Structure 1
Amino acid sequence: MSQGLNPIERRTAFSLAGVYGLRMFGLFLIMPVLATYGQELDGFSPLWVGIAIGAYGLTQGLLQIPAGMASDRYGRKLIITLGLLMFAVGSLVAAMADSIYMVAVGRALQGAGAVASAILALASDLTRDEQRPKVMAVIGSFIGVAFTVALVAGPVLANWVGINGLFAITAVLALAALLVVHTLVPNAVQKAPTGDLVAVPARLWALLKDRDLQRLDVSIMVLHLLITAMFVALPLALVDAGLQADRHWTLYLPGMILAFVLMVPIILFGVKRGQTRNPFLFAIGLQFAAAMMMAFNLDSVWGLSIGLVLFFAGLNYLEAALPSLISRISPPGDKGSAMGIYSTAQFFGAFAGGVLGGILYQTVGAQGVFLLCAGAIALWFGFMWSMQEPRKMRSLTLSVDLARRDTDALASALSALPGVIEVILIPEQHAAYLKVEDPFDLDQARATLNP
């Protein structure tokens, strides 16, 4: 069996990663500069900066699950196309805005183009079961790259073209992503089984009550609350400390590079010890130290810089660890529903962070925002303390024709295989969902399914 991606899977991985990355780059591009370059907009205030930064999270959180379900019914590319067109419309609304209020409307329309679930589902349709994690990893890595490049490019581009020009650039990026969808992304000839791709409404409540999944949902919500709250206050704090807005990239670029370097020992420690819990808690601790450093060094560019590096080091580790954890912990056949809840929590966190950050900056200043972040992190750390070391499991989705098969006998046969922890067979989806750990032989499972 081939251990690498075939040509279609490589094309799928990089074309869809490009679509996802272009869209996220457009969303992130405005974050480090709206508070500083948006001051000429009518109605400008820290509160409305926070609302505008976080507005995409509200609409994206509301529409993430419905858009994924719609892609399952009406087609992946149709929903992706409509979502990118909506993103472009939102970008143009913001590009033509002369008030912060219309910028917020534009950001909300950008978020309404909620295509993440449809993109991931299309990626699954176009890849083999055993190669799917590699494709998802490529797409995920482009999100991190988009965030990093946007932090550096935002201040540079804003100095040249202003806030309205940045939004015009994001509209062009959305159209470029649309071109990629219809010229480079392969057409799917079949759908992968639904349960691991998009949310199933009947399963959402049961997953919301799962304590292990709750920890991860809370984690991603708080993490993105921190990001948007920080970028309401941090650009303004840096200006007050003496670093002009057009020079912020000189802090963000080396800060991100150093943060990636600091992240490596955390990863290596976890791999060497076979641990997830302790590195996870340590990364949260870095975030707390970062918030406190910023809160009590408002007049020092160096103090804010150290806080930024610590924040990004923890952020980079957690952003990489959380999707892996939710994939491992989700019940077999429910990963689509679990990821739907997780993504919704993420975007609602982004909205809440923008609003709370704006309110606090307007009422008590940057220190209040950073202390809010520190308090949220402390509560988060306490909530995560009871986290157990997750078993080294993974989920597999195997296609099988279950018509005229004794599903009870087949489930028993699969459960008896070495390494199989849980089996769910869904005849309507022609799918076998397995939760497995080593030692597990995929070929043996396939032979059992298709003797």
Structure 2
Amino acid sequence: MNALELRASLALASVYVLRMLGLFMVMPVLAVAAMDYSDYSPLMVGLAVGGYGLTQAALQIPMGMMSDKWGRKPVILFGLAVFAFGSFVAANADTMAWLIVGRILQGAGAIAGAIMALATDVSRESQRAKVLAIIGIAIGFSFYMAVLLGPLIANNWGLAGIFAITGMLAIVCMPLVQWVVPNGEILSSGDTLPQKGQLKRLVFSSQLWRLNVSVLILHMLITLLFVQLPLTLLHFDMALDTHWTVYLPVLGISVVGLVIMMGMARGRTPKSFLFFAVVLMGSAFAALAMKDHSWWVTTAAVVLFFTGFNYLEANFPSLVSSIAPAGQKGTAMGIYASFQFFGAFLGGMLSGFVTDIWTPDIAYMIGAVSTLIWLYIIWGLKEVSRVKRVMMNGSFTEQQQNALEKNISLVPGVLEVTLNSQNGTVYLKVNRDFDATQARAVIDSA
């Protein structure tokens, strides 16, 4: 990467880290800290934990499309401003109802797609994977940091302190976006951002819908867990500020488990490994649903959960990328992200509702049962090979498309071709045998 690309990737990764820290830090503490509100109830806690997911799911695709029309930076800055406003609303909330309003406003700052598109705009095609990988690592890092920092900050400054810090971090991101991230020419975004005309086809794709529902269940379960787990730890006489002593070793061991599973998979994503990860998560919820379980059972269950969660969270996006048609990855990922965030909302609402009517044990049991349904859904998923996506530009008319598509399909390593004559873009899905020089020659001869 050159200096410009390195600066862009680090700045955008920092924006992601600071923003996601704010969203995630409340997850391990809200169920306990919210008891101080006069209108406290398990249902309200569930809505507060997962409320951001509702607006994130609704606005993820529209805001990505708007960044094509209005520009990346204006949309990102607007999203950060809405996110900061929601954070300060939540920080000043004196009831659970206002806290939920703040969380919903936080989710309205749905800028993930615009950030990824800006990263694409300011990087060369040969370096784009590295830039996006840096941002992806930052997202995972922010989650682990948030789970550890949340209880410590809440102990010193309370829930209001977490939201206030979150709002300030969002404001800090604004000058980074405006002045540190370089301006780039808005590129054709078929493989980066959602396209309206592709939505219906991809929503009902026989393979993609299984991954979309899978990520919905995945994030439903992690939200359900964090509505219940802090309260479970209180039963072992663990004060909120000591919960990090459980999360730190649990996350460390689960990362080791992830590395072992990834090493055994050898760059592939076998369906058997997906099954195994879901079974780990289901076993964790079944163990937590048992009455009078010990601290050791709880800790072991959470290790199992996060080992499975980490593996699936790391591999589902690459499966979506491999399955999505050439030139339609942006739409596929936009739909995937919407299901992901809706899962967070559903998990919070379901967990709170069940606990309100029955008991936390029933909520855990519902989590275990949902993994059985999930296994049935994954059963129909076909194993796919990892592919590389390439975008090339050329000059060709609509009348030349069919002949050009046929000729490019004959190039070694080309698996799939999508052409867009309006902006002269050629989208390719290729394998390791791809001959880029020959593909370039075919496009230039059109």
TM range (shorter): over 0.9
Q: Which residue of 2 aligns with 1:435?
A: 429
Q: What's the CA shift for 1:162?
A: 0.1
Q: Which residue of 1 aligns with 2:36?
A: 40
Structure-2 separation of matches of 1:256 and 1:40: 29
- 2:222 aligns with one of 218, 227, 242: 227
Q: What's the CA shift for 1:394?
A: 2.5
1:304 matches 2:298: yes
Structure-1 separation of matches of 2:277 and 2:117: 30
Q: Which residue of 1 aligns with 2:337?
A: 343
Structure-2 separation of matches of 1:76 and 1:253: 36
Q: Which residue of 2 aligns with 1:11?
A: 7
Q: What's the CA shift for 1:265?
A: 1.6
Residues 97-130 of structure 1 show CA distances to partners (whole Å, capped at 9, x for unaligned) of 1111111000000000010111011111111223
- 1:418 aligns with one of 409, 412, 427: 412
Query: Aligned runs of 1:235-246 on 2, under 5 Å?
Result: 235-246=230-241
Query: Aligned runs of 1:209-220 on 2, under 5 Å?
Result: 209-220=204-215
Q: Which residue of 2 aligns with 1:146?
A: 142
Structure-2 separation of matches of 1:389 and 1:258: 28
Structure-2 separation of matches of 1:154 and 1:392: 36
Do the aligned residues in 2 keep the contact of 1:81 with 1:178 (CA within 8 Å)?
Answer: yes
Query: Aligned runs of 1:23-422 on 2, under 5 Å?
Result: 23-188=19-184, 190-271=185-266, 274-296=268-290, 299-402=293-396, 406-422=400-416
Question: Which amino acid is the alignment partner of residue 165 of structure 1?
Answer: G
Q: What's the CA shift for 1:263?
A: 1.2
Partner secondary structure for residue 235 of structure 2? helix
Q: Number of matched residues?
A: 445
Structure-2 separation of matches of 1:426 and 1:96: 50
Partner secondary structure for residue 422 of structure 1? strand
Structure-2 separation of matches of 1:263 and 1:297: 29
Do the aligned residues in 2 keep the contact of 1:294 with 1:370 (CA within 8 Å)?
Answer: yes
Partner secondary structure for residue 406 of structure 1? helix
Do the aligned residues in 2 keep the contact of 1:193 with 1:399 (CA within 8 Å)?
Answer: no
Question: Which amino acid is the alignment partner of residue 438 of structure 1?
Answer: R
Structure-1 separation of matches of 2:224 and 2:390: 37
Q: 1:426 to 1:22 in 2, by over 3 A?
A: same
Q: What's the CA shift for 1:30?
A: 0.4
Structure-1 separation of matches of 2:291 and 2:139: 30
Do the aligned residues in 2 keep the contact of 1:237 with 1:298 (CA within 8 Å)?
Answer: no
Q: What's the CA shift for 1:438?
A: 2.4
Q: What's the CA shift for 1:242?
A: 2.5
Structure-2 separation of matches of 1:362 and 1:304: 22
Question: Which amino acid is the alignment partner of residue 102 of structure 1?
Answer: W
Partner secondary structure for residue 238 of structure 2? coil
Structure-2 separation of matches of 1:49 and 1:73: 37
Query: TM-score scaled by structure 2?
Result: 0.97
Structure-2 separation of matches of 1:241 and 1:185: 47
Q: 1:404 to 1:236 in 2, by over 3 A?
A: closer
Range moving further from structure 2, 215-224 or 429-438: 429-438
Where do 4+ consecutive residues of structure 1 move more than 6 Å?
A: none
Range moving further from structure 2, 58-67 or 122-131: 122-131
Q: What's the CA shift for 1:51?
A: 0.2
Do the aligned residues in 1 keep the contact of 2:194 with 2:330 (CA within 8 Å)?
Answer: yes
Do the aligned residues in 2 keep the contact of 1:298 with 1:304 (CA within 8 Å)?
Answer: no
Q: Which residue of 2 aligns with 1:449?
A: 443
Residues 119-145 of structure 1 show CA distances to partners (whole Å, capped at 9, x for unaligned) of 011111111223222211111111111
Structure-2 separation of matches of 1:230 and 1:297: 16
Residues 354-387 of structure 1 show CA distances to partners (whole Å, capped at 9, x for unaligned) of 0000011222222111111111111101110122
Question: Which amino acid is the alignment partner of residue 99 of structure 1?
Answer: T
Partner secondary structure for residue 127 of structure 2? helix
RMSD: 1.5
Residues 210-240 of structure 1 show CA distances to partners (whole Å, capped at 9, x for unaligned) of 1110111011100110111111111001102
Residues 232-269 of structure 1 show CA distances to partners (whole Å, capped at 9, x for unaligned) of 11100110232221110000011100100111121111
Do the aligned residues in 1 keep the contact of 2:287 with 2:301 (CA within 8 Å)?
Answer: yes
Do the aligned residues in 2 keep the contact of 1:298 with 1:367 (CA within 8 Å)?
Answer: no
Structure-2 separation of matches of 1:100 and 1:404: 57
Question: Which amino acid is the alignment partner of residue 222 of structure 1?
Answer: I
Q: 1:404 to 1:40 in 2, by over 3 A?
A: closer
Do the aligned residues in 2 keep the contact of 1:297 with 1:303 (CA within 8 Å)?
Answer: no
Residues 288-330 of structure 1 show CA distances to partners (whole Å, capped at 9, x for unaligned) of 1111121116542211111111111111111110111111111
Partner secondary structure for residue 94 of structure 2? coil
Structure-2 separation of matches of 1:309 and 1:166: 26
Structure-1 separation of matches of 2:357 and 2:232: 15
Q: 1:408 to 1:96 in 2, by over 3 A?
A: same
Do the aligned residues in 2 keep the contact of 1:67 with 1:79 (CA within 8 Å)?
Answer: yes
Show structure 2 runs of 5+ residues with no match: none
Do the aligned residues in 2 keep the contact of 1:193 with 1:430 (CA within 8 Å)?
Answer: no
Do the aligned residues in 1 keep the contact of 2:318 with 2:386 (CA within 8 Å)?
Answer: no
Structure-2 separation of matches of 1:168 and 1:275: 41
Structure-2 separation of matches of 1:404 and 1:227: 47
Structure-2 separation of matches of 1:297 and 1:304: 11
